[in-house]
Amino acid sequence: MLSRNLNLLRFSSKNAANRALFVNRTTTISTYCDRHIGPQSDRNDYNIMLERVGYKSMDGLLEDTIPSHIRLSDEEMNEMSSVIGRDGKSESDALKELKDKMSNNICNKSYIGMGYYDTLTPTPILRNIIENPSWYTPYTPYQAEIAQGRLEMLLNFQTMIKDIVGKEISNASLLDESTACAEAMTMCLNMSKKKFKDDQEAIFLVSENCHPQNIAVIKQRAEPVGIKINVISDDKFESELKNNADLIFGAIIQYPNTYGNVYNNLQSLVDLAHNNGISMIASTDLFACSVLKPPGEYGIDIVVGSAQRFGVPLGYGGPHAAFLACDDANVRKMPGRLIGITKDSRNKPALRMALQTREQFIRRDKATSNICTAQALLANVAAAYGVYHGPNGIKSIAQKIHLYTKILSNGITQKLKCCENMNKVYFDTVTFKINPNTIKNNSAQTILNLGYENGVNFRPIDEQSLSISIDETTSLDDINKIFEIFNNSMNNPTKLPNTDELIEICENENLYKDDNINRTTPFMQHETFNTHHCETAMMRYLYDLERRDLGLNTAMIPLGSCTMKLNSASVMIPVTWNTVNNIHPFAPQQQTKGYESLIREMEDMLASVTGFDAISLQPNSGAAGEYTGLLTIREYHKQRGEEFRNICLIPTSAHGTNPASAAMCGYKIVAIKCDSQGYIDMVDLKQKAEQHANELGACMITYPSTHGVFEDNIIDLCDIIHKNGGMVYMDGANLQAQLTKTSPGKIGADVCHLNLHKTFCIPHGGGGPGLGPIGVNNKLKPYLPSHPIIDNAPNSTNSIGPISAAPFSSASILTIPWMYIKMMGFNGLEKATATSILAANYMAKRLENHYKILYRRNGLAAHEFIIDCRHFYKKTPDSKKKDDYIYKIEAEDIAKRLMDYSFHAPTMSWPVVNTLMVEPTESEPLEELDRFCDAMIGIRKEIQDVEENNVNIDDSPLRHSPHTIDTVTSDDWNKKYSRKEAAVNPYKSYWPSVGRVNNPYGDLNKICACPSVEDLVKIQQAQEDAATKSIEN
């Protein structure tokens, strides 16, 4: 084992080559870059690492790692640095610049609604979740044993959602409400038993009273896969369901609708749809469902919506957690993740991602969704909001919102008498039509303009109408201000309404006169939602959950292809500024000049580092970026009259989202082989590109490859695709290794998505949020996505439709990559790229004598490497049974044993089955790199003990890991290894909270909500049965 303390080297003249890149000559004060990057120059970490790899300088290592013909020239690097800045800013200077920039936003009080509302984030949740690295730095909970805290909160989310909307099961969040609507449409098609002929178009009905962004995203999602969208008025809905029943597979309504009206005939509509074999979707509001009869109780098949108003700030559009709830019978068709309860190796309850519905995309080109992420952090915030307030609190907030909405309506229509309320039944939104000759200029714009002048935003509808949406932050003072605005807009102002009088009038009215639409059923009855209502209890509950998870504040998370780098405190601070998170996404553009500047600068910087001509910030995940990029290629061919170009070449090593995204765009997938070295088989690629030259639309590649290698023939690959009429889509998952050294544009790609939650430091949040903007060349620039509310593609008439609810998706977290790039500068980004490559190769060299390292070029990896675990087995001699082994140790055994060392495992069994892919990033200190290597070497010795028959596999700690503290301290210790061997380090700061999770048991016993007493008794009985069996043996 390498002892770093015994190998510290001092700088000498022979190491001068490394000083130029890694030592700041101008000052002795450490920079942000110095603190972001783990290895330290002043301790000679780089020289130690280079010596292990076999190089005297970083330049020499990079020359042998990155092919020379794709390297940026000095002129290209100088041009890049002129855009992003050569030297990074200090943390204080960057924060000041950004604060000044965002101060140009005007934070009006917004009553625009349309699915976005101001909210009060409880301060215990703000401090203990949103601003807490224990919650925002972990990865998606693939390793359930070290993710029990956020898994429990996500289970709370699922339970809360399904209870409130009246369905049997909910997923663990989706990207936003509009994409949830689109996912539900596809789910309806998969649920349908109708068979459509080749000459028939499957029809999906959309109410014209859905939010406009929902309609637009549904249309864009439907078009590539041949679904016909009929947008119709509500008064024609029933006749359409009858007349075209054979062709309609699904329909969607908004409940309450975008103008605030609540359906009074919903039950008859649902019954009619079901009688004709049509599935119904409702996009709904959680607060409304707490007082109105929820959609599920009408028999609505799928309920979607946004949980934003449960404590998640507006953020100029996001990030926010959407949801999708349905019946148990359709759970396997449901997109997104699903959290379920199972038992662990101790036969005690444990949580995990269930039923493989966590990722539809694993079906590749057969997938119905490409979702591989969610909005876990925001779902956790919304769930915590539900836990803190409880069902009574939620209902009380909803009742207050409705009361204030009634006061508003009564005051304007009955007291001021200047407008008519167009809604017969409403919850929080009223659409007002001005009465003739009452408002100046006889125009609703008069009211809107006076509102702007007084710091208030209403929603314009048409020349004569506007709408107002009330939220939990609305006070009686706010209502009075609205009265003043309307009164001052009148030709003949009158006495202002008396709110005290209106309260008495409105409180004495029944909530809803029609009892059939009042909610009568209880919700959120589980004890979790009825226990933690004082701040002390809530604080301790959140801390209890926090301690069960492993985040970057605990240890390195060396997940290959995930780039789990530092999310520094400085980059995170602006997210909670009022000028960042209190802006409605559809606020007038004159109020969003700060965001306009931020977005423009982000587009310029991202275009520069990728070598592209234009950027779209609309995709709100990497998979959404893939989908958007492929749509731009599809539209390019369509505008050239070559719609027949529908073949997409994809290597067999590609991430599962690649073929899933291509299928969603209507492409036919043709697989390309990889050779024994993990490289794309160029002979196979050339043959298939030429074979399909007349239909070739695109080729999807990842660079460096998914195997972690810079392939030499990448430019040749691009040339072959282009010569045969196709375009090259580059998956940006591995952009970390390219940054400042080469670029997708330099290599020849036409479009590339960027994972800002990887390369540019947006935290993974335990499974979201993320951002996946795309960069394109000039050929594809005209086709970047548009938006129906905010014109963000003003120079193009050929733009594709929107793929996200908000025009710039999760705009508030753009402040994170802005801060990162500004503080790193070109020099810092260059150092980060170099260090990530050095770190990966240092670890590979330390481990290569203990494990087989796959797929290296010149004996070198890029920024990640793959450990082969496929040969740790011995079959029973002469046995004819396929799975008859004396021992078989797999990647999963190593992954679980790493938890005893307080590590998150590397990426397991991808891109090669039964391997571990390691990506250390530039942020990990040398001590942590060594600690991981020491752990892997120690585990290899345990494997060797089994191989040499010193230990039976069933008696090895490998088979029983991870070990919980209660197991190690139990009086009943019957293992053949010591407690100390099990614990590794009894003084460690992190212990897994459950034993190895039993996945088959969870699949057979599906529990995907907070467990009832009966559920726990079932698991407890299994525990008792196991204990009895142990005694008998």
Kind of pairing between the strands at 696-702 and 647-651: parallel
Query: Exposed/middle/buried for 508, CB within 10 Å: 0-12, 13-18, 19+?
Result: exposed
Rg of the chain taking only CA atoms, in angstroms? 29
∠ Cα 50 54 60 (to 5°): 70
Q: How confident is the model at residue 5 (pLDDT cuts 50, 70, 90)?
A: very low
Q: How far apart are CA 974 and CA 968, in angstroms?
A: 10
- Kindly provide the b/e burial profile for residues 713-743, where b requires at least 16 CB atoms within 10 angstroms of the residue's own CB: ebeebbebbbebbbbbbbbbbbbbbbbbbbb
Q: Which residue has the tokens 């039944």?
A: 425
Least confident of 15-24, 371-380, 931-940: 15-24
Letter string b/e over residues 349-374, b meaning 16 or more CB atoms within 10 A of that residue's CB? bbbbbbbebbbbbeebbebbbbbbbb
Q: What is the largest CA-CA distance in the chain?
A: 100
Distance CA 662, CA 457 (A): 40
Average pLDDT, the chain: 93
pLDDT at 653: 83
Q: 626 is written with which tokens?
A: 């893939």
Average pLDDT over residues 134-156: 96
* pLDDT band, very low/low/confident/very high, at 866 (cuts 50, 70, 90): very high
Average pLDDT, stretch 640-664? 91
Residues 6 or more apart whose CB falls under 8 angstroms from that of 594 comprise 101, 102, 103, 104, 105, 579
The pLDDT of residue 549 is above 70? yes
pLDDT, residue 13, reads 37
* Number of other residues whose CB lies within 10 A of the CB of residue 222: 21
What confidence tens digit (pLDDT) does each residue in 244-283 have? 999 999 999 999 999 999 998 899 999 999 999 999 999 9
Alpha carbon distance 419, 588 (integer Å): 23
% pLDDT > 70, the chain: 93
Backbone region of residue 615 per phi and psi (left: phi > 0; alpha: psi in -120 to 50; beta: other values) = beta
Partners of 730 in the β-ladder: 701, 752
Q: What is the pLDDT of residues 687-733, one digit of tens each?
A: 999 999 999 999 999 999 999 999 999 999 999 999 999 999 999 99
Q: What is the pLDDT of residue 374?
A: 86
Which two structure tokens, joined as six digits, stand for 1016? Answer: 């726990």
pLDDT at 883: 85
pTM, to two decimals: 0.94
Average the pLDDT over 378-384 and give the result: 98
pLDDT at 28: 53
d(CA 664, CA 196): 18
Distance CA 690, CA 699 (A): 13
- Reading phi first (left if > 0) and then psi (alpha if -120 to 50, else beta), residue 773 is in beta
Structure tokens at 196: 């459509």
How many Å apart are CA 313 and CA 266, to the nearest integer?
Answer: 31
Contact between 260 and 430 under an 8 Å Cβ cutoff? The reply is yes
On the question of pLDDT at 92 being above 90, the answer is yes
Q: For residue 372, name the pLDDT band (cuts at 50, 70, 90).
A: low
CB 227 within 8 A of CB 184: no
Q: Which residue has the tokens 């019957």?
A: 974
- pLDDT tens-digit readout, 653-677: 888 788 889 999 999 999 999 998 8
- As given in the structure block, the two tokens for residue 850 are 């203990």
Per-residue pLDDT band for 12 (boundaries 50, 70, 90) equals very low
Q: CA-CA distance, 4 to 52, in Å (whole number)?
A: 12
Lowest-confidence pick of 384-388, 393-397, 1024-1028: 1024-1028
Peptide bond connecting 319 to the previous residue in cis, omega within 30 degrees of 0: yes
Length of the chain measured in residues: 1033
Nearby residues of 228 by Cβ (< 8 Å), 6 or more positions away? 201, 202, 203, 204, 222
Per-residue pLDDT, 577:
98
CA distance 618 to 772: 8
pLDDT surpasses 80 at 908: yes
Position 16 pLDDT exceeds 70: no
Per-residue pLDDT reduced to its tens digit, 577-612 = 999 999 999 999 999 999 999 999 999 999 999 999
Give the pLDDT confidence score for residue 22 in this predicted structure.
52
For 758-793, what is each residue's pLDDT tens digit? 999 999 999 989 899 999 999 999 999 999 999 776
First to last CA, the chain: 41
User: What's the confidence (pLDDT) of residue 815?
Assistant: 98
Q: What percent of the chain has pLDDT over 90?
A: 86
Contact, 728 vs 721, CB < 8 A? yes
Task: State whether the Cα torsion 182-185-191-196 is positive or negative.
Answer: negative
